[in-house]
Structure 1
Amino acid sequence: MRTVYTPNLYWREVPPAKPQLGDVLSLSSNNWDDYSYKTTLNAKIYINNQLISFDFSIKLLIEDVDNTAIKLDELCKDGWDGIFPIPNINYIALPSDIDFYKILISKVGEEKAITLLNELHDAGFSKNVYHNEVSNKLIEHDGFKTSLLRESGANKAFQDGYLIFQDIYAEIRDFQLNILSKDCCVKSIPFKFESSSLLPYDINVIIGPNGIGKSHCLKSLVEYWLQTGMGEPRILERSKHTPFDERPNISKLVLVSYSPFEEFSLDLEKNNLQDKKAYQYFGFRQMRDDGKIGISRNLPALNSSESLLEMISDDEKYKFIENRVNKFNSVDSALKSAISYDYCVLRLSSQDDLSYLGNDVITINNEKYLPAINIMQWAERIDLIINSLLLNDGVIFVKDGNIVRLSSGQRLFVYIAINVVGAMKENSLIVIDEPELFLHPNLEIEFISLLKKVLTPFRSKAILATHSLSITREVPSKCVHIFREEENGLEIVPPPFETFGGNVQRISSYVFGDKSISKPFDEWLDMQLKEVGDPKRLIEMLGEEVNEEMIMKIMSLGKKSHGR
């Protein structure tokens, strides 16, 4: 397999196949500008002259050159045939997506893939495998950091791409996030994901009272990693703020927030980034046609339908990739551990002619549905059936031929699982803001269990900002980050005891300072005791309405009153 550059193509044109060369990585010019560096090249993979369906680009930095395509066009004009390696030139390159390596291996084998990467001067290989001095010099160049490492996908490829060829499955490593608090002080949160014990380190929890900065922490994490908003490189350079000890080696960030007051970014459409899919938001807010942001309670249902179709389509499109996780099977297996159903369906319009679907349609209570297992037969032609589907109804579950009736909390619970898996890639980071807003206490525990089941096959991790003690006791203490207000401002501390399976009251007392807070229950008992005067008399008066905890509290208050 060869890498070949085609000169003088308009930047919107697709790099062509090269039948005379056989299998190729075909490159052509692109005018994308990364802070005055233009290193991006359009890229397509052709195997047996057939285009592989995979959207990516290659960024290539040439020594002492700030516009790669212009330089390559000049080299071709001077006689270069466009076939890599480029003669007598020092250069280094990176793909925009780590899946580039997996596709190469799956299509041409590891040996040919390594040959191609060597001709391309892949940065990850040059640094971590060959320790090439010339390449290392280019890696230290401002253009490499500003342009080649700007996109999250390329950064992930640089950090972990070479490991694929060593049969090492990369995991999300520990990282330290440095945020700026309200008083502009730097506060650090050491997120722990690398388990060194039997305890599960797949979820980190941020817990603390309202208004202390938990959501700000999540927003900072998102924007620092994407290098948008407060994380925009020029803003960070002016403030001299370093957001991470090392940029997290995650491939995608998925954010879930159903708070009515959240202000997370909806998408990356207005950001100066090529990879618009590096970040996915799920919540109640959406961009309207007039450009204003509106709220829709039905978005989770609509998103679940779209996510189901997307995961079925992706499973078919990328099934050739070796060891790729099947998304639909993963979420179906996880959901069946949480709710009882036989299969899931999408509802069909009763007004459309559905004869073209043949026997794929089922009828329940005079309504027409299309089971997910039958949608798979349309995976390569989703566009042909999508207009007949009532996507706003969301994913529907069937048990023993009947529709499963779910509460509103259960529906949101399963929609989130479907949406997250639909958006996930391997090594994704799932960020969820206050899941307890839509879950009752029993579902909180089930949600954590379900979340762990969908994280595991994708080797992904999660960060949750919460007030929930039930969620916190499901996480080891090293993964718990307590936000609290002290005399000197915000403090972020770990609990001084093990929270995993710990006592809820103990966690509550430490996190929220319950011992120092007067509750209405305590105040009522204190007032009654002052009026009656005698603890035993008060207990007798309460009769059958008293419980053991109340008796103990009355006796304790009685002792305190005698000691005054």
Structure 2
Amino acid sequence: MKFMCFREGENFPRVVKPYVFLVHDNWDDFGYKVSFKVFVTDGIARKAIGTIKILQKISERKESFKVASQTELPERFDKLSDDYISLGQERSYYEEMRKFFDSEADVALNSLRDIALLPRRSQPFEPTSAYRNALMRHNSAQRAKRFGAAWARGEDPQEQVSFTYAGKIDGAEMQTIGRFDFDENDELPGRVVAIIGRNASGKTNYIASLAADLASTRRTSGTVWQEREKRFTEGRPLFTRVLAVSYSAFDNFKRPRVDERSSYVYCGIGGENSHQFDLTRRYIENRERIRQIGRQGEWRRYIQDVIESDNPDHLSDDFFVLENSSMETQTHLLSLLSSGQAIFIHFITALLAWLEPYSLVVFDEPETHLHPNAVANLFLVLSSLLDKYDSFAIIATHSPLVVQEVPAKRVLVFRRTGNITETETLGLESFGESISEITKHVFETVEVDSVYRRTLRKLARKYPLEEALGKFDTGLSINAEAYLLAQYGARR
């Protein structure tokens, strides 16, 4: 792929082979001149494609990352260096690139370091004013970051965030199908879906695979790509970032191989080969990122509201100094907290560092290490952050405190029988129900199977509802009929 760069008003040369022409248009975005008009030519005709914005890193040291106030491009190049990122500013830009380059559109966009295709490349630029006030200034740019890769492939992406996923659990004979009915406009809480189920039902395996499939934008082979897309039976939703969270010491949360095309961010202990040093290091990096993107006031407020209400003497003023945090200092300050408080702080810090609009948080067992009151507080913080940053969450949990905060239509029950894990809906409304009732009717039901439940599940798989009900001459009890109806509801 060949590119040439021009100042506004300069004449294009005659060329005999395909070229992409970039014209700096001098538009000023709050002190940053990073806009370029894009033209393509096949050596005969020339066509306007649209507008992109390109940011250029001008510092070498990570701790002093700076972006040029005016992007300077080489006069001729085949591919921009790692010092640059770009983003188309409207849908038509990606569609026109597709029309002109066909299946090679991604090659051209990769050469321009487009973050719609290479989302991980945006991370070091995100804390900068140039990123917020120039590159991502308009709503159309936000949409381009989310949908640009799909538009460039000639796809019509699904804009709604609800979806159905058919995931394969290790050791299971068939796929497990779950419906994630997100709806931010619902009058009931619609940004969180909870998954419950007994140990070894496959919850962690399922959500880890889901997170990896959602975060991947690699086309790889046609077969691999098609298999991944088929797992989203109603179309794959496009989230700008997937945050996987797990703080279990026995973390078996499988993580995908991450490259520049991935939008996956892992927040947690990190498995058997990681240790406290890695967690503290990530915590310090996330604190610095919070400082750079200007969320330090929000971070302090959440920490004070939740942690200091328990023990206001635990946190000194040094704890809230985000600048120049050494490993030794932060290790000491965290050691003054309980394990639950430390995990809570890690969680809040990670979310504030990485959440952006249309992110998905995948959280495995948030109750790990936490006192019941802390679980309730954590859910309040999570809900607040999801609302503020227009994001969503999937939570695998054993906590009735979490289930109490989620409407029953957004609670998936995982049930494993032999080598088959199926999902079903709750037989009672969980939202606002008492902890004792949830524990009795939900978690005991999850933990203890019975002959009648197995029989009803088998009938639901084999017969239509009316025929299944007809098997019982005197009718079913209200409880049994509700359970049977739930089996059919889980399939919709």
What TM-score, normalized to structure 2?
0.61
Q: What is the deviation of 1:418? A: 0.8
Which residue of structure 2 lines up, in the alignment, with residue 25 of structure 1?
A: 35
Which residue of structure 2 lines up, in the alignment, with residue 302 of structure 1?
A: 281
Q: Does 2:127 correspond to 1:178?
A: no
Q: Which residue of the other structure, out of 270, 275, 297, is the alignment partner of 1:285? A: 270
Which residue of structure 2 lines up, in the alignment, with residue 449 of structure 1?
A: 380
Q: What is the deviation of 1:106? A: 4.7
Which residue of structure 2 lines up, in the alignment, with residue 422 of structure 1?
A: 353
Q: What is the deviation of 1:496? A: 1.8
Gaps of 5+ in 2: 7-12, 14-20, 40-50, 57-66, 73-82, 89-93, 110-114, 450-492
Which residue of structure 1 lines up, in the alignment, with residue 344 of structure 2?
A: 413
Q: Does 2:5 correspond to 1:6?
A: yes
SS in 2 for 1:63: helix
Q: Which residue of the other structure, out of 463, 466, 472, is the alignment partner of 2:394? A: 463
Q: 1:409 to 1:192 in 2, by over 3 A?
A: same
RMSD: 5.0
Q: 1:506 to 1:230 in 2, by over 3 A?
A: farther
Which residue of structure 2 lines up, in the alignment, with residue 339 of structure 1?
A: 307
Contact in 1 for aligned 2:251/2:269 (Cα 8 Å): no
How many residue pairs match? The answer is 376
Q: Deviations over 1:163-214 (max 9, x none)?
A: xxxxxxxxx7322222234444233212122156543223211011111110
SS in 2 for 1:452: helix
Q: 1:199 to 1:256 in 2, by over 3 A?
A: same
Structure 1 window deviating more from structure 2 (332-341 vs 46-55): it is: 46-55
Q: What is the deviation of 1:252? A: 0.7
Contact in 2 for aligned 1:444/1:471 (Cα 8 Å): yes
Q: What is the deviation of 1:63? A: 3.5
Which residue of structure 1 lines up, in the alignment, with residue 433 of structure 2?
A: 502
Contact in 2 for aligned 1:223/1:229 (Cα 8 Å): no
Which residue of structure 2 lines up, in the alignment, with residue 164 of structure 1?
A: none
The CA distance in 1 between the partners of 2:320 and 2:446, in whole Å, is 53
Which residue of structure 2 lines up, in the alignment, with residue 330 of structure 1?
A: 298
Q: 1:231 to 1:263 in 2, by over 3 A?
A: farther
Which residue of structure 1 lines up, in the alignment, with residue 77 of structure 2?
A: none
Q: What is the deviation of 1:18? A: 4.3
The CA distance in 2 between the partners of 1:310 and 1:69, in whole Å, is 30
Q: 1:233 to 1:484 in 2, by over 3 A?
A: farther
Q: 1:448 to 1:370 in 2, by over 3 A?
A: closer
Gaps of 5+ in 1: 9-14, 30-40, 73-92, 129-134, 150-154, 161-171, 287-292, 316-326, 346-361, 363-368, 376-384, 398-402, 519-564
Amino acid at match of 1:190: R
The CA distance in 1 between the partners of 2:244 and 2:343, in whole Å, is 15
Contact in 1 for aligned 2:243/2:359 (Cα 8 Å): yes
The CA distance in 2 between the partners of 1:460 and 1:240, in whole Å, is 22
The CA distance in 2 between the partners of 1:71 and 1:300, in whole Å, is 38
Amino acid at match of 1:212: S
The CA distance in 2 between the partners of 1:70 and 1:175, in whole Å, is 30
Q: 1:439 to 1:299 in 2, by over 3 A?
A: farther
Q: 1:189 to 1:476 in 2, by over 3 A?
A: same
The CA distance in 1 between the partners of 2:301 and 2:108, in whole Å, is 52
The CA distance in 2 between the partners of 1:238 and 1:108, in whole Å, is 34
The CA distance in 2 between the partners of 1:220 and 1:27, in whole Å, is 40
Identity over aligned pairs, percent:
19
Q: 1:232 to 1:189 in 2, by over 3 A?
A: farther
Q: 1:25 to 1:265 in 2, by over 3 A?
A: farther
Q: How does 1:330-479 map to 2 (within 5 A)?
A: 330-340=298-308, 369=318, 371-372=320-321, 375=323, 385=324, 389-391=325-327, 393-394=329-330, 405-479=336-410
Amino acid at match of 1:174: S
Contact in 2 for aligned 1:208/1:482 (Cα 8 Å): yes
Q: 1:234 to 1:500 in 2, by over 3 A?
A: same
Q: 1:232 to 1:307 in 2, by over 3 A?
A: farther
Q: 1:48 to 1:212 in 2, by over 3 A?
A: closer
Contact in 2 for aligned 1:208/1:511 (Cα 8 Å): no
Q: 1:297 to 1:489 in 2, by over 3 A?
A: same
Q: Deviations over 1:34-54 (max 9, x none)?
A: xxxxxxx99615899624998
Q: 1:310 to 1:490 in 2, by over 3 A?
A: same
Q: 1:96 to 1:343 in 2, by over 3 A?
A: farther
Q: 1:311 to 1:56 in 2, by over 3 A?
A: farther
Amino acid at match of 1:284: I
The CA distance in 2 between the partners of 1:516 and 1:266, in whole Å, is 28
Q: Does 2:285 correspond to 1:311?
A: no
Q: Which residue of the other structure, out of 211, 215, 223, is the alignment partner of 2:204? A: 215
Higher Rg of the two aligned structures: 1
Q: 1:434 to 1:284 in 2, by over 3 A?
A: same
Which residue of structure 2 lines up, in the alignment, with residue 482 of structure 1?
A: 413
Q: What is the deviation of 1:65? A: 4.3
Q: What is the deviation of 1:449? A: 1.7
Amino acid at match of 2:298: S
